[in-house]
Amino acid sequence: FSILEARKGMLKELENIVGVASKATDRLRESLELANEFEKKMKEAKKDELKEAQDKTKVIKDSINALFDALLGKKDERQGILFGYTTPVSRVNEAQQYINSTRGPINETDLRVSKQAEEKVMGVVERVNKFYATQWAEYRTFMEKVSFPVFKDYEPLKKQ
């Protein structure tokens, strides 16, 4: 087992972690788009009985955005030179840089940063999975019962 093969194995493992994080963000993005669609339809309907659905949609969107922030970092609106904070995804990049930067055998630092990256990403992925198993499942069940009007009411046409 050569040094190069060991490094390739660690990098492959980090790629797998990035793949899981990517799937999580894709699911969150799809869910946010669906919630936005529901929100738009409810605004167009302007019905009072949709108030609860609107409230639940706002809560679900807030939860999705919080998960995005946990995985990718919250967007900083301040101006000037800012130092970004460490996100789970940036930890993976950091681990990949450590592994690629040294020529010798895998060392403790390589192992430590790789393990930390995996723990951080998988911790957020676990939160995403829990969100879909609980909060999203409840939202979905509720929203499947909500009916959006597809027909408009038309006033009779009159000559003016």
Is pLDDT above 80 for 110? yes
- List pLDDT tens digits, range 45-99: 777 778 899 999 999 999 999 999 999 887 766 666 655 667 898 899 989 988 8
List Cβ neighbours of 32 (8 Å cut-off, separation of 6 or more). 61, 64, 65
Mean pLDDT of 94-120: 89
152 to 41, 44, 45: CA distances (angstroms): 13, 11, 9
Give the pTM: 0.82
User: Which pLDDT band, with edges at 50, 70 and 90, does 120 fall under?
Assistant: very high
Higher pLDDT, 157 or 92: 92
Judged by DSSP in three states, 10 sits in: helix
Task: Pull the structure tokens for residue 88.
Answer: 């789970």
How far is the C-alpha of 95 from the C-alpha of 14, rounded, in Å? 8
More confident residue, 149 or 56: 56
